[in-house]
Structure 1
């Protein structure tokens, strides 16, 4: 006998937000987990709505919490029961960002509080939301600006304080503001053609026939999506692997690597596989690509995607890129290193709140270990792309300098056809993209050679 337990949208959203927080899940994984046992009809019906709530609440979480903490007495939103805190965040988002009538937003949440807690907690939550309704955010932000300008910007644009300080030092005040504003805009989608199944002109015609308006980009195999009527993932050609959704800057990595047919390639942190499959496509399924990743689950998803895309020259191996050693040296290596993901806030707003300086310092040590191991796996004269989706110099230019001075690499003078150059004394030899300048993820690429 099948038992169906009905829950409200507010409960589902609060459960997902709580899972993200308590189990350190990505928003994408938490959504997948929540909808795994939902019948297909309801999945199609509600997933888009729930996805929108999750991503928007995570995007604006610091500003939402600012309103709640301004009216809470004797405690902070971070000290409340996580599920209760997330219910309050849902209501505040509805009231202050979606323009939902306060009575409706409050009532829908209070019903859940009564169901999951008790009358006393419901009265507490109701009082908080009444206070939020009357809260004058403009005046509160004005006072905060006079007291602490960095914290004011952090709240207003809902970014971590460290990020505000870092972006201002990197790009100046105006540049930092433009970057944060761009991070808060809706995600920009790009699609890359699968040349094993079609060509870019045919893909463009197909998309436009299905009400997807696109434009050319600096990359001849990538299109920029300007408008669409229904999600790209519902299109037949997506389901059959004629194209993939891949960020523009991410897709540049394989072009900079410039793989040739028949070469032996190593991808040291392969999942979810976009760059691996791009390299395979550029090599026309020739040669051999060894794709390793630390996550078995992500490798299994790559295996499914490989079959869909018709990729046949990739071997998947569960391994740690810091210590992996293959029986042969490689002609080329892709090292898209694990990083702070500080360049992907528009695409993945949940990562805003996943990193602090201590965690970033640990990630940098992993990056350096992977650079040293890449050198061991590369043949003499072999080339490597080192990339991150981070804005930080210590993950980017400083790591390249480490690779040059401590590991033994040399910089390849590659002629980047778009984007910006970087920082420090090697800045003119590396690539950077910024969300506010290039309408894609902020990104870093350097091309290195084993001398």
Structure 2
């Protein structure tokens, strides 16, 4: 593979994995940043292969580390130099998950370690990978199942232990297991039509003509992608803004909000902008939408996307959604709150490793602060959607109860046309989707009124 880059392919992958881990970037963002430095005729092929490697390594990281830690002596893979640990993970992945001949997998990683570090560490990694080659994963997992069933499930399906405990407690053993399995299936793509440029039938015909087989969904302006020949983002229709890629449940939020033409709408956590632009399109570019986000970089990307989509009624504001205050009140508010992202593991496997109990407690405090601020910005009788891509009750139903009991909101009875209902005493009045039931992100939506 001909690439103009100062390092080889395995070091390139280790670079991206390190960016994801150390800077908490998304895999897509880390891939984009790294490939800005890559040139050569095989660049696009390398990018596709790198994406596949990153996605699968992040998905199976818990199991990969279990294998590495089972053969390491006196140290754990998490205690190694982060870059060295990632090179080792790549070797384990190639050997045990990708089916690369062990000698070839070992040799390529050892050479990368020798180039990056020194001969002694190259010998160390060589010895570790030789032990990995003979390690019986199935036998080790069976032994673990006898000792600790939750830990066994956590490693077998490569999910954080807290998540396994939580979903089994929430859904029961069988349903929880189905969710774990579903999270590890290939990503499902959904396409939302841009009504400012085309209609759903014309878009469906266009996609079919270009080798993208689609079907209708419970959400009127969303198509489910069944198969495709060319990557969807390479199509001219995507580049020209005739459609966007947006998860099915995420796209339901704008419909639940039910914005009307001419209204004044606030989005308190707007980036990357899918819900903001969806509301703008439903309002037919009338009224005014104030889109607030704390990330200037993400707002700049939104500005570029707005022009492509033909959205003209959105004003971007760089501010903190917990504190933003406008002189005038709003008719509607979207609060798609920052969360543990525990409903997006199939789409973004790297987020599995970002949250623990302490971080979740902190993000819940942010969610509550944003709920309080939303109330201050909403006019009397104004309405708000509260949504997260989390499975957790404490980020969802409990926060809605907080909004009702401590802030002053009322819960709106909305006729949800699909999905499941929620938990606790307000469960029948809120929306939930689950990856194993609805083939999309696990998601939560509630509609509130001041």
SS in 2 for 1:98: coil
1:381 counterpart SS class: strand
Match of 2:51 in 1: 51
Q: What are the residue-to-residue correspondences of 1:276-355 with 2, within 5 Å?
A: 276-355=276-355
1:140 maps to 2:146: no
Match of 1:64 in 2: 64
Deviation (angstroms), 1:5: 4.1
Partner of 2:153: 153
Cα RMSD between the aligned structures? 1.1
CA change 1:228–1:81 in 2 (3 A) is same
> Comparing 91-100 with 437-446, which one deviates more in the overlay?
91-100
Mean CA deviation greater in 328-337 or 115-124: 115-124
Task: Work out the CA distance in 1 between the residues paired with 2:275 and 2:304.
Answer: 16
Which runs of structure 2 are paired with 1:78-89 in the superposition (5 Å)?
78-89=78-89
Paired position in structure 1 for 2:246: 246
Q: Indicate the SS of the match to 1:374.
A: helix
Cα distance in 1 between the residues matched to 2:184 and 2:45:
26
**Residue in 1 that maps onto 2:383:** 383
What corresponds to 1:23 in structure 2? 23
Deviation, structure 1 residue 121: 1.1
Equivalent-residue separation in structure 2 for 1:37 and 1:272 (angstroms): 24
Shift of 1:6: 3.3
Q: Secondary structure at the match of 1:13?
A: helix
Partner-residue secondary structure (3-state), 1:265: strand
1-side partners of 2:25 and 2:310: how far apart? 30
| Cα drift, residue 26 of structure 1 | 2.2
Instruction: For residues 75-125 of structure 1, give each alpha carbon's deviation from its aligned partner in whole angstroms, at most 9, with x where no partner exists.
Output: 110111111111111111111111111111111111111111112111111
3-state DSSP class of the match of 2:97? helix
- Once the two structures are superposed, residues 318-361 of structure 1 have per-residue CA deviations (whole angstroms, 9 ceiling, x without a partner) of 01111111111000000000000000000000000001100010
Residue 416 of structure 2 corresponds to residue 424 of structure 1: no
2:437 and 2:40 map into 1 onto residues whose CA distance is: 40
Give the TM-score taking structure 1 as reference length: 0.98
Q: How far off its partner does 1:42 sit?
A: 4.3
Cα offset, 1:4, TM superposition: 5.2
> How many residues were matched structurally?
448
Gaps of at least 5 residues in structure 1 are none
| Runs (5+) with no aligned partner, structure 2 | none
Partner of 1:218: 218
Q: Secondary structure at the match of 1:444?
A: strand
Using the alignment, how far apart are the partners of 1:22 and 1:279 within structure 2? 35
Q: 2:172 aligns to what SS in structure 1?
A: helix
CA distance in 2, matches of 1:169, 1:205: 44
1:28 Cα shift?
2.0
Which whole-Å CA distance do the structure 2 matches of 1:241 and 1:40 have between them?
29
Offset at residue 163 of structure 1 (A): 0.3
* Cα distance in 2, alignment partners of residues 219 and 356 from structure 1: 33
Question: Does residue 406 of structure 2 align to residue 403 of structure 1?
Answer: no
Structure 1 window deviating more from structure 2 (32-41 vs 85-94): it is 32-41
SS at match of 1:432: strand
1:20-41 deviations in Å (ceiling 9; x for gaps): 2222222222111101232374
| CA distance, structure 1, for counterparts of residue 129 and residue 256 of structure 2 | 52
Instruction: Tell me the distance in 1 between the aligned counterparts of 2:49 and 2:426.
Output: 45
